[in-house]
């Protein structure tokens, strides 16, 4: 089993298979061209519809390649799932979410950022939506190549905005809505990061920093997993199931509460059974979060497929309706073939090109274990619920990445805090005992945050520590200034977030003018 998993991981990431993955992607787009071309033959503007369908498939591929990493990256980085297993689970649940709960009607203008009725020209509207779709896909492709997870919603919003302004002037845009979207660049990662850090700190104080970890885990872990069950039950209802049946927040919360009660008793029994053989350490507690992380990855993928498939199929459905009716449409029905393009495209993009961003999110920003990944997943669900009730504009991508940065910065803070305390304690001792300090410093240098507290307590008890020399003091400062969050990734991702809307807007405007020049 391990060999087959390793082979699949290698197949998904090896540079030697890249050209084959690109070829499979092109074959998928060719299949769309042939399929849509066959049933649209004889229809007016059939060639434009076929081109739009291919672009919609290209957009769906890029959504799968970029955005889905946020759902499964932490589970992969923590070791709860192998890369191959995560890709397979996410592909199935993304496609399932899109097909089952993607909705049968979609708003053609994501976020109502422009008023398309100003155009009064069905053909200009088709060019606008085609340009927006192509620009959003191109920007996502570029961001994936750069290794930057960005918001697919913001990509298509920027595309619609830029093409809309090119088609109808500056007055076509609703700038108050754009202001809210800009606010989400700050609100989303800050909320996600703060909640993830808060839950990680809570777990450390209630479980990991206790001398007897196992009894603490028996008391608190079932409650923590129950909170996750409530959050995901509610999240799934308000982000996915509500497109099948109408539910309000109270109904969604009650469904989540029922799930939480069941999960609480199941997890309590499981933890009690494992307590007898569980290691009395952080690694022992980590193992308790494996299955919650697997379920979280699957449910996040389902909700994402149900919600974000509209970024690919919304413009395509609008183009289909506009070509059929010759008019501007603000709400469009979704034919099965359009939904299939979105659902299959996301799954194909994830399997072919998603592993790169999954590795970035899961292991390259900061080191994740299962406890930290659990906090990130829980934060993602709770932040969406909180924001939806407060009417705050948020991005699921920014929330998840904010959670990763949040737990990383908390680790830095804790390690710096413990190292500073140890430094103060050591300065109070006799220099003659310096030789006996060296083994302790060696242990401290390689210690994890959790181990550092244990070492600090030992230092207070045995009174063998001595003041540090100037060179040793520099070495200690170097230890507690260690970066647990890669600043280069922080700068690159933040920059990509800020320029997503303007970059896709400029691309869309250029594509619109090109299309208008070619087709008039």
Q: What is the pLDDT of residue 69?
A: 86
Q: pLDDT in tens for each of the 520 residues of the chain?
A: 444 456 666 677 677 778 888 999 999 999 999 999 998 887 777 888 999 999 999 999 999 999 888 889 999 999 999 988 999 999 999 998 888 877 655 565 655 788 887 877 778 888 999 999 999 999 999 999 988 889 888 999 999 999 999 988 888 888 888 888 888 888 889 999 999 999 999 998 898 888 788 899 999 999 999 999 999 999 888 876 666 777 888 888 999 999 999 999 999 999 988 888 888 877 888 889 999 999 999 988 988 888 888 888 888 888 888 888 777 776 777 888 999 999 999 999 999 999 889 988 988 888 899 999 999 999 998 998 888 777 776 788 899 999 999 999 998 888 776 655 555 555 554 556 545 665 666 566 566 555 655 665 565 555 544 334 444 444 444 454 456 778 788 888 989 998 999 999 999 999 999 988 876 6
Q: Phi first, then psi: what are they for 369, rounded to 5°?
A: -110, -175
Please give the pLDDT value at position 468. 40
| CA angle (474, 457, 418) in 5-degree steps | 40
pLDDT given for residue 131 in this prediction? 94
The closest of 305, 317, 336 to 129, measured between CA atoms, is 317
- What is the distance between the alpha carbons of residues 136 and 504, in angstroms, rounded to a whole number? 6
Q: Could you give the CA distance from residue 407 to residue 436 in angstroms, rounded to a whole number?
A: 35
- The structural domains of the chain, with segments of one domain joined by +, span 7-212+280-413+485-518, 213-279, 416-482
Q: Burial of 368 by CB count in 10 Å (0-12 exposed, 13-18 middle, 19+ buried)?
A: buried
Give the number of C-alpha atoms closer than 13 A to the C-alpha of residue 159, restricted to the C-beta side. Answer: 29
- Indicate the helix (H) or strand (E) that contains 105: strand 105-107
- Residue 296 CA to residue 224 CA, distance in Å, equals 13
Write down the residue that tokens 């084959």 correspond to.
20
Taking the CA atoms of residue 335, residue 336, residue 337 and residue 338 in that order, the dihedral angle to the nearest 10 degrees is: 60
Structure tokens at 303: 């909700």
Instruction: Please choose, from the candidates 173, 168, 387, 203, the residue with its C-alpha nearest in 3D space to the C-alpha of residue 285.
Output: 203
Q: Please tell me the distance from the alpha carbon of residue 483 to that of residue 491, in angstroms, as a whole number.
A: 14
Closest CA to 43 of 315, 322, 334: 322
pLDDT score at 327: 72
* Cβ atoms of residues 309 and 343 within 8 Å: yes
Coil/strand/helix, residue 423: helix
Q: Which of 205, 206, 222, 202 is nearest to 272 (CA)?
A: 222
Match 């109808």 to its residue by tokens. Answer: 168
For 42, the token pair is 């004889």
Cα 312 from Cα 61, distance rounded (Å):
9
Distances (CA, A) of 95 to 11, 62, 309, 344: 22, 14, 9, 6
Q: What's residue 235's pLDDT?
A: 86
Task: Return the axis-axis angle of helices 370-390 and 396-426, rounded to nearest 10°.
Answer: 130
Concatenated DSSP letters of 150-213: --HHHHHHHHHHHHHHHHH-GGGB-HHHHHHHHHHHHHHHHHHHHHHHHHHHHHIIIIITSSSH
**Degrees to nearest 5, angle at CA 399 with 393 and 405:** 140
| Dist. CA 228–CA 256, nearest whole Å | 9
Please report which helix (H) or strand (E) contains residue 230, including its range.
helix 213-239
pLDDT at 453: 56
């Amino acid at each position: 089993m391990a060999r087959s998993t390793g082979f699949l991981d290698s197949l998904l990431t090896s540079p030697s298979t890249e050209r084959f993955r690109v070829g499979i992607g092109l074959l998928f787009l060719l299949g769309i061209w042939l399929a849509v071309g066959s049933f649209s033959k004889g229809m007016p503007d059939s060639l434009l519809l076929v081109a739009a369908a291919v672009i919609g498939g290209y957009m769906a591929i890029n959504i799968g390649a970029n955005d889905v990493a946020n759902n499964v990256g932490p589970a992969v980085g923590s070791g709860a799932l192998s890369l191959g297993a995560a890709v397979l689970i996410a592909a199935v649940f993304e496609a399932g979410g899109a097909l089952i709960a993607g909705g049968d009607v979609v708003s053609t203008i994501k976020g109502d950022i422009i008023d398309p009725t100003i155009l009064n020209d069905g053909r200009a509207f088709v060019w606008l939506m085609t340009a927006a779709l192509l620009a959003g896909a191109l920007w996502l492709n570029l961001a994936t190549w750069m290794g930057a997870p960005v918001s697919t919603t913001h990509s298509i919003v920027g595309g619609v905005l830029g093409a809309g302004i090119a088609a109808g002037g500056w007055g076509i845009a609703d700038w108050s809505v754009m202001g809210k979207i800009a606010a989400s660049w700050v609100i989303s990662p800050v909320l996600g990061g703060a909640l993830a850090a808060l839950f990680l700190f809570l777990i450390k104080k209630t479980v990991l920093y206790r001398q007897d970890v196992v009894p603490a885990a028996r008391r608190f872990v079932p409650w923590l997993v129950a909170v996750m069950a409530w959050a995901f039950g509610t999240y799934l209802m308000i982000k996915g199931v509500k497109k099948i049946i109408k539910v309000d927040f109270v109904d969604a919360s009650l469904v989540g509460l029922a799930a939480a009660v069941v999960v609480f008793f199941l997890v309590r029994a499981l933890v009690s059974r494992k307590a007898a053989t569980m290691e009395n350490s952080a690694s022992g507690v980590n193992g308790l979060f494996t299955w919650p992380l697997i379920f979280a990855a699957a449910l996040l993928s389902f909700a994402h497929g149900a919600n974000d498939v509209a970024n690919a199929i919304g413009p395509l459905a609008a183009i289909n309706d506009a070509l059929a009716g010759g008019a501007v449409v603000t709400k469009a029905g979704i034919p099965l073939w359009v939904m299939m393009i979105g659902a299959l495209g996301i799954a194909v993009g994830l399997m072919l090109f998603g592993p790169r961003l999954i590795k970035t999110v899961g292991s390259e920003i900061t080191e994740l274990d299962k406890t930290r990944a659990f906090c990130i997943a829980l934060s993602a669900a709770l932040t969406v619920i909180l924001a939806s009730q407060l009417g705050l504009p948020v991005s699921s991508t920014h929330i998840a990445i904010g959670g990763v940065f949040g737990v990383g910065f908390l680790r830095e803070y804790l390690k710096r805090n413990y190292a500073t305390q140890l430094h103060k304690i050591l300065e109070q001792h006799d220099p003659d005992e310096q030789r006996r300090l060296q083994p302790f410093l060696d242990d401290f240098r390689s210690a994890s945050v959790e181990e550092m507290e244990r070492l600090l307590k030992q230092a207070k008890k045995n009174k063998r520590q001595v003041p540090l020399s100037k060179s040793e003091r520099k070495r200690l400062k170097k230890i507690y200034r260690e970066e647990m969050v890669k600043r280069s990734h922080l700068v690159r991702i933040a920059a990509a977030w800020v320029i997503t809307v303007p970059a896709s807007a400029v691309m869309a405007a250029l594509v619109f003018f090109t299309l208008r020049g070619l087709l008039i």
